[in-house]
Amino acid sequence: MLQHHSKMAPPTATVVVSTREEDSMNNEPSLSGRQIIGIIYPPPDIRTIVDKTAAFVARNGIDFENKIREKESSNPRFSFLSNTDPYNAYYQHKVVEFRDGKTTEPAVQRPQVPEAVKEHVKQTEFIPRNPPPPFEFKTDPATINAFDLFVYYFFIQFIFMHVLTMLFHLVARFESRSVRKQNFCDANES
């Protein structure tokens, strides 16, 4: 939401930024590098920080703001203290409101959960009443030396690499036997 002052300067000149045909339809001047006019409201998570900070600064003075700026200089959530930040106008507006007494201290707003949702959560929440039964089927693996483990892995790798070939040979052998048996039965019937 952007609130504009009633007296805005008319755009001075159109600056061509791109030569694309789609961009040629945009004749609005660029606002980059110009001072932000109006108040840009921060998102709710940042707004609570801005409101609390503005209330403290209104109560404790500009020295408190300077201390916060020094302490939280690397924290991006407190970037609104900088004059170049878009949320600085909202912050300054809140400081003035708190100082003049137009706004009371910001209350921590927690989202209200409907009763139906609370009841559903209580019903679906599983709380185990009894301890689980003891684990019965545990076996300790036998100790194996490095050479036997190598042979085991090598054997498994060999099986995986040659299993398809062996399977095809086995199927072909089975089919040839069944064909021979079928031919034998057919020859006896005639």
Taking only the tens place, the pLDDT of each residue in 1-12 is: 444 444 444 444
Neighbours of 98 (CB within 10 A): 20
- The label of the residue with tokens 């199927």 reads 171
Residue with tokens 């021979």: 180
> pLDDT tens-digit profile of 35-78?
556 788 888 888 999 999 999 999 988 888 889 888 988 888 88
Q: Which residue has the higher pLDDT, 48 or 17?
A: 48
Could you tell me if 53 and 68 are in contact, meaning their C-beta atoms sit under 8 angstroms apart? yes
pLDDT at 168 over 80: yes
User: In whole angstroms, how far apart are CA 108 and each of 9, 52, 53, 92, 100?
Assistant: 39, 9, 13, 20, 21
Strand partners, 2: 40
Q: How far apart are CA 97 and CA 91, in angstroms?
A: 10
User: Taking residues 157-182, what's their average pLDDT?
Assistant: 78
The band of 155, judged by pLDDT with boundaries at 50, 70 and 90, is: confident
Q: What is the value of pTM for the model shown?
A: 0.40
Does domain 32-100 correspond to CATH entry 1.10.10.790? yes
Lowest mean pLDDT among 19-28, 60-69, 102-111, 179-188: 19-28
